[in-house]
A and B are shown apart, each in its own frame.
Chain A
Amino acid sequence: MNSCTERLKNGIITENPTFVMMLGMCPTLAVTSSAVNGLGMGLTTTVVLILSNAFISLLRKVIPDKVRIPGFIVIVASFVTMIQLLLKAYLPFLDSALGVYIPLIVVNCIILGRAEAYASKNSVLPSIFDGLGMGLGFTFGLTCIGICREIFGAGAIFGVEFIPDDFHITFFVLAPGAFLVLAFLTAIQNKLQMPSATNVEKDDSMSCGGDCASCTGASCVANKGIIEAERAAAKAAKAQAAKEAAAKAKAAKEAKAAAEKKED
């Protein structure tokens, strides 16, 4: 059960899809015009994530490796269709508010990303908790942005208006407001040196960015040791070079001083 709580924490904090990994930006920017919309979108995605993670994990030995992506998509699309029909039946206001972004959950990179990176390699229970953690992290991110935009744009939180109509800044409810709020939240994150996709020192030579600390695959654990040794060696070499350069500069300075003395 320990790995399950670890998965939850990983999804909500360590690898928060919105603020740390910056995945699924399309719904993040498009549907967060109010806190309720953000929460609705986040929870819908969470349900899809849990179900798709569970089924992909169950079928991970059945799905042939070569056609795994189409396989994942079929599973995800089935669940999204089910969720969409349920929303239409029981929460029509949310369905009309989210509109085309519900079917677009199929192509949300968080879902395919978790399927590929976790569910297709791990057993069912941790996969379910991975989906739950990621989904809640996404919900948290979307709700944060939604709350900020709703306060400034509509003077309300979750529909409870507390700023009079004259002081609403419509800008924040529209598309540019989404970019601005996300940029400000990310800027605060960077300022406080919290982990995020925009302030990690990346190693461009590797497609994964070389951030092995966040990797979970078994082969990566082995790689991690190698890469870290390499990095330490590179760092030592750099320090050595700097030392030598400093020594050289010092020698040159001394030589110059001696020469000047001679001239005197």
Chain B
Amino acid sequence: MGNLLNISSSPHVRDNSSTKSIMWDVFFALMPATIFGIWNFGVKAAILVVTCIATAVLTEYIWQKAMKLPLTVSDGSAALTGLFLALNLSSTFPVWMAILGSIFAIIIVKQLFGGLGQNFMNPALGARCFLMVSFAGQMTSFTYDGVTGATPLALIKSGDDSTKLLDMFLGTIGGTIGETSTLAILLGAGYLLFRKVITWRIPVCYIATFAIFALVFGGHGFDMMYLAKELCGGGLMLGAFFMATDYVTSPITPKGQLVFGVLLGILTGVFRIFGASAEGVSYAIIICNLLVPLIESATIPVPFGKEGIKDGK
């Protein structure tokens, strides 16, 4: 009886990844940036991170209990949303506002649209923009080393490029908790690429398009130093590798991912260079999130053997 053949319908090739394992991979990949943020900004940052994660998980639990839905708290997606939101906040951000933001992310952006897999935009970024619109003052006040000042990106926009590139790369600058250290983010991104949780398409297209846009329209000519600072400053790296690659809110078709990346790059460039504020990554990502269904329907791959037929029919 040892030779029993297992007959089943396709798919025949599977791997062991699940929602849970992917969420924990991303969680783990964010650890360098989180730990660096806490080291950089101190206890306040740690309190914000813990509060956001706890509120997000608790909100999801209470909502699903109250609505008599299957509990999905253990898949880690709510915890991840909380962590993302915390990494997008300034370390001096009031805790109660962060709690409000987490509740907004989970209930309004995620659960009201049907929970994980149905949310129309990245919950953490939706909440960030909600907080940005509501509490612009607290969201854009950055304190570093006890001194409240503008972020390097805002300084560059106003024509002051005294910030050292090395500081911006390592992250010893002011900003939101998770965005300052390009090095820590790249470490995490490398892990995700190695684990094949994300592909290169969205981040590479995004960053490359933004770089070209900044070179052409930035008004600094072919200045590599300016470009490097624009790339290392603000939330571009965090957004490109972690936020824009969110499975639910990015296209699944390979061509669509390229289009998505290019659109993100152009929008971020427009917001940063022509917009009123120095940063525009979060708005660019949530606007492109809304375009994803359109991008996907326009880039459905032609099945093998169907090339000769026009219009995909």
Minimum CB–CB distance from A240 to chain B (whole Å) comes to 35
Establish whether residues A171 and B108, one from each chain, have CB atoms under 8 Å apart when the complex forms: no
Establish whether residues B133 and A176, one from each chain, have CB atoms under 8 Å apart when the complex forms: yes
Please report whether the interface of chain A is mostly helix, strand, loop or mixed according to DSSP. helix
Q: Which residues of B contact A73 (CB under 8 A)?
A: none
Establish whether residues A170 and B133, one from each chain, have CB atoms under 8 Å apart when the complex forms: yes
Interface flag for A169 (CB, 8 Å): yes
CB contact list, A148-176 vs B, under 8 A = 169-171, 174, 176
Establish whether residues A169 and B108, one from each chain, have CB atoms under 8 Å apart when the complex forms: no
Nearest chain-B residue to A166 (Cβ)? B94
- Bound: A180/B133 CA distance, A: 14
Please pick, from A169, A170, A176, A180, the residue contacting B100 in the complex, using a CB distance under 8 A: A169
Interface flag for B24 (CB, 8 Å): no
Please report whether the interface of chain B is mostly helix, strand, loop or mixed according to DSSP. helix
Establish whether residues A174 and B133, one from each chain, have CB atoms under 8 Å apart when the complex forms: yes
- Bound: A130/B309 CA distance, A: 60
Q: Which residues of A contact B134 (CB under 8 A)?
A: 169-171
Interface flag for B226 (CB, 8 Å): no
Size of interface on A: residues with Cβ below 8 Å to B: 6
- Bound: A180/B100 CA distance, A: 15
Minimum CB–CB distance from B273 to chain A (whole Å) comes to 25
Fill in one digit per residue for B156-183: 1 if any A CB lies within 8 Å of its CB, else 0: 0000000000000000000000000000
Q: Which residues of B contact A174 (CB under 8 A)?
A: 133
Q: Which residues of A contact B100 (CB under 8 A)?
A: 169
Fill in one digit per residue for B78-100: 1 if any A CB lies within 8 Å of its CB, else 0: 00000000000000000000001
Q: Which residues of B contact A170 (CB under 8 A)?
A: 133-136
Interface flag for B130 (CB, 8 Å): yes
- Bound: A47/B192 CA distance, A: 64
- Bound: A115/B209 CA distance, A: 55
B interface bracket (residues with beta carbon within 8 Å of A)? under 10
Nearest chain-A residue to B138 (Cβ)? A166
Q: Which residues of A contact B136 (CB under 8 A)?
A: 170
Q: Which residues of B contact A171 (CB under 8 A)?
A: 130, 133-134
- Bound: A171/B133 CA distance, A: 6
Minimum CB–CB distance from B135 to chain A (whole Å) comes to 7
Nearest chain-A residue to B94 (Cβ)? A166
CB contact list, B34-76 vs A, under 8 A = none
Nearest chain-B residue to A176 (Cβ)? B133
Establish whether residues B108 and A180, one from each chain, have CB atoms under 8 Å apart when the complex forms: yes
- Bound: A170/B136 CA distance, A: 9
Q: Which residues of A contact B133 (CB under 8 A)?
A: 170-171, 174, 176
- Bound: A58/B134 CA distance, A: 50
Interface centre among B108, B130, B133, B135 (most CB of A within 10 A): B133
Nearest chain-B residue to A172 (Cβ)? B134
Q: Which residues of B contact A180 (CB under 8 A)?
A: 108
- Bound: A193/B241 CA distance, A: 45
- Bound: A9/B100 CA distance, A: 40
CB contact list, A168-198 vs B, under 8 A = 169-171, 174, 176, 180
Nearest chain-A residue to B100 (Cβ)? A169
- Bound: A176/B108 CA distance, A: 12
Minimum CB–CB distance from B134 to chain A (whole Å) comes to 4
Q: Which residues of A contact B135 (CB under 8 A)?
A: 169-170
Fill in one digit per residue for B110-148: 1 if any A CB lies within 8 Å of its CB, else 0: 000000000000000000001001111000000000000
Minimum CB–CB distance from A198 to chain B (whole Å) comes to 15
Q: Which residues of A contact B130 (CB under 8 A)?
A: 171
- Bound: A49/B135 CA distance, A: 40
Fill in one digit per residue for B6-25: 1 if any A CB lies within 8 Å of its CB, else 0: 00000000000000000000
Nearest chain-B residue to A170 (Cβ)? B134
The 7 closest A-B pairs by CB, nearest first: A171-B134, A169-B134, A170-B134, A171-B133, A171-B130, A174-B133, A170-B133
Q: Supply 10 further A-B pairs (C-beta < 8 A) apart from A170-B134, A170-B135, A171-B133.
A: A169-B100, A169-B134, A169-B135, A170-B133, A170-B136, A171-B130, A171-B134, A174-B133, A176-B133, A180-B108
13 intermolecular pairs with C-beta atoms under 8 Å apart: A169-B100, A169-B134, A169-B135, A170-B133, A170-B134, A170-B135, A170-B136, A171-B130, A171-B133, A171-B134, A174-B133, A176-B133, A180-B108
